[in-house]
Amino acid sequence: MNKSKRPFTKSKRSFRRRLPPIQSGDRIDYRNMSLISRFISEQGKILSRRVNRVTLKQQRLTTIAIKQARILSLLPFLNNQKQFER
Tell me what pLDDT residue 83 has. Answer: 59
Whole-angstrom distance, CA of residue 13 vs CA of residue 15: 6
Which residues of the chain carry a pLDDT beneath 70? Answer: 1-7, 9-12, 14, 82-86
CB contact at 8 A, 68 and 46: no
pLDDT digit string (tens) for 54-73? 999 999 999 999 999 999 99
pTM of the entire predicted model: 0.71
